[in-house]
A and B are shown apart, each in its own frame.
Chain A
Amino acid sequence: MKKKGVDSIHPVVMDGNLEKAEALSALSKASCAATAALPEALARCKTPAQKQKVMADRDICQLAYLNSLAKSLVQTGPLFEQMADDLGKAAIDVQARLKELKDPVAVSNLLVDVARLASSLALAFA
């Protein structure tokens, strides 16, 4: 009977409906695991060729992850751009409100409100 592989390694596609986040996470785990194994693996290598082979295998894992990440970032990038744009506009809007509170023109507009109230208060002096 064929010996079962390492328990921690699971197939990336199980039912054909793997979410992008899960796929990216699996690729990252593979890349991190390959990097984490380097100190032990490199220490056991006897020849430069063996070390280079270990690094090349790890680089394949990391490249697969980086390429997938770069592709997925293109999808979510516009959402962040839109968010930054909205927040920028909101900050300008708030600054305008602040200016309005301090602006001499707004203060003169305030006089209109004061005049309205003053007219009702003037009854007190009648």
Chain B
Amino acid sequence: MIEGTDLKTAGLPRVMAGLMILSCLAGCSTVSVDNAKTLGAAGKEVSTQVSSNIFASDDEYRQGIEADLFLHGYADTQVPEAVAAGYRKVAIELGARKLVFSKLHDLYSAFYDLASSGDGSGIDRSLMDFGNAVNGYAASRQRRALVPSSAVGLAGEAGKLIAADRQRRSIIRTSALIRGHLIELLQLLDDPLVRTQMETFRQNLVQNRVSAIKLLWRSGLLDPVDLIDQMGQSEGLKTAPKSGDAIGNRRYASVRNGLQSVVDYRLENKVRLVAQGYDASVNALKVLIARHEKLEKGEEVSVAELRGISGELQVITGLLAKHASTNK
């Protein structure tokens, strides 16, 4: 019935009007797929970093326990079984909580996949194939083409727009779902008891290491050359040859005391970093919640701020990890 109809001459304005309505329908949700992808990628990264900033890593735990063993050995005694069992019990219980962040990472992965699932370009191909197949069938039955070639293309475009719209609607629904869970998680992490549980266990592990290092330092068994290098580095100064050996000499007692103050400051700062890491993690979740709200409203999601919170978490994790690695 519509064989041979030329869109250029017949009904073109109406086709254009139809396409405009279609575009309008598909575009009613203004969420940006690129913004969703950005947020998905940031969410994956932040969930991993938050986990590293809240929980003691395996290395941190091992080094805390080893430091405790050293302190007991130094005092010519052994770690009481009740203390060792207490550490194990708490580590297992807290370790199980990491599952929350691994699930959050999975959720963001799914969200990222959803946002990266394409714009329906595969669908327009399948719809065109469908139209061509119908025509092929008609030809085999020696009938006129049922779908004009121009309409096949149009159906493809329509399919593409609808698919893109479905994707956007799914993104909005998923974003709202994630936001709801983030709010619950934030409330949980902001609970004073939960915060105290998380922070204090790490602080106790860090304190064990700090005391063991101080004891080794006081015993004169640690070489301060790297520390002296770091202090003079910015001015282009380097530790003089054999200074490490000379520092043990009574003549340099004042220098040694000075270095000890720096060591004490640095070590005590590590204990403070634990609380700072927790605060940064809670803040990161707040920023994510705000960005989800923006995404759902169709507003621009700032990549810079997401990178900023991610960077802050990385710095704190790095500082604590540096502490761990220097203590190996």
Contacts and interface: CB of A to CB of B under 8 A. Distances in A.
Contacts of B194: 76, 79
B80 interface: yes
A56 interface: yes
Contact of B211 (A39, A63, A77): A39
B154 A25 contact: no
B158 A117 contact: yes
A90 B177 contact: yes
Interface in B73-102: 74-77, 79-80, 82-83, 86-87, 89-90, 93-94, 96-97, 99-100
A28 to B, nearest CB: 4
A52 B96 contact: no
Interface string A84-107: 101110110111011011100001
Interface string A41-79: 011010010011011100100110111011011111101
A101 B107 contact: no
Contacts of A102: 117
Contacts of B76: 48, 51-52
Contacts of A70: 86, 89-90, 93
A80 B55 CA distance: 13
Contacts of A31: 204, 207
B159 A110 contact: yes
B160 to A, nearest CB: 10
A13 interface: no
B218 A121 contact: no
A30 to B, nearest CB: 11
B177 A63 contact: no
A94 B162 contact: no
Interface string B200-242: 1101100110110011001000000000000000000000000
A47 to B, nearest CB: 10
A24 B197 CA distance: 8
Interface residues of A, number: 68
Contacts of A35: 71, 204, 207-208, 210-211
A98 B90 CA distance: 38
Nearest to B25: A117
A19 interface: yes
A125 B151 contact: yes
A97 B107 contact: no
Contacts of B166: 101, 110
A24 B193 contact: yes
B195 A21 contact: yes
A52 B73 CA distance: 10
Interface of B: 2, 5, 7, 10-12, 14-15, 17-19, 21-22, 71-72, 74-77, 79-80, 82-83, 86-87, 89-90, 93-94, 96-97, 99-100, 103-104, 106-107, 109-111, 113-114, 117, 123, 126-127, 130, 148, 151, 154-155, 158-159, 162-163, 166-167, 170, 173-174, 177-178, 181, 184-185, 188, 191-197, 200-201, 203-204, 207-208, 210-211, 214-215, 218, 271
Given A81-B96, A98-B170, 13 more contacts: A20-B193, A22-B192, A55-B77, A63-B83, A80-B97, A84-B99, A98-B114, A107-B126, A111-B127, A114-B158, A121-B151, A125-B10, A125-B151
Interface of A: 19-22, 24-25, 28, 31-32, 35-36, 38-39, 42-43, 45, 48, 51-52, 54-56, 59, 62-63, 65-67, 69-70, 72-77, 79-81, 83-84, 86-88, 90-91, 93-95, 97-98, 100-102, 107, 110-111, 113-114, 117-118, 120-126
